[in-house]
Amino acid sequence: MTYDKENIFCQIINNKAPSERVFENENALVIKNINPRAPYHLLVLPKGEYESYTTFGTNATDREKLDLMEAINFVIKEYHLDDAGYRLVANTGYYGGQSVPHFHIHILGGEKLPTFGL
């Protein structure tokens, strides 16, 4: 699958579309979800052109991976999510319900989240 440079997260990363940025480092960006499903609903994006966890995991450099983890850790600390817990989600592909074809991790917290019996 070729990366679609027109996707909204690519535009946000390149400052061609607006977003509420809460953190960034060299290789990762955190934005607030435009349609939050919990009191805290952040999206952690690598700045590189990866459409899924699979392509990121296979092709990203160690530095890019560490920067993504730093961004996740920032959110957990900034919003004190460790106190009561939180959820990380990476919807992937058609079956996974991914709607934006740029790899992203949802971080949800701030209330008791519904479970799917997992």
Least CB distance to ligand 5GP at residue 95 (A): 12
The verdict on whether 104 is a catalytic residue reads yes
Identity of the residue, 2 or 99, whose beta carbon is nearer to ligand 5GP in the bound complex: 99
Cα–chain-centroid distance for residue 81?
16
Residue 76 φ then ψ, to 5° = -60, -40
Least CB distance to ligand 5GP at residue 106 (A): 6
Structure tokens at 83: 């106190």
Q: Where on the chain is the footprint of ligand 5GP (CB under 6 A)?
A: 8, 19, 31-35, 43, 91, 97-100
**Catalytic residue, candidates 41, 80, 104, 106:** 104
Least CB distance to ligand 5GP at residue 45 (A): 10
CA distance 29 to 13: 7
Helix (H) or strand (E) holding 24: strand 21-24
The residues that are catalytic are: 104
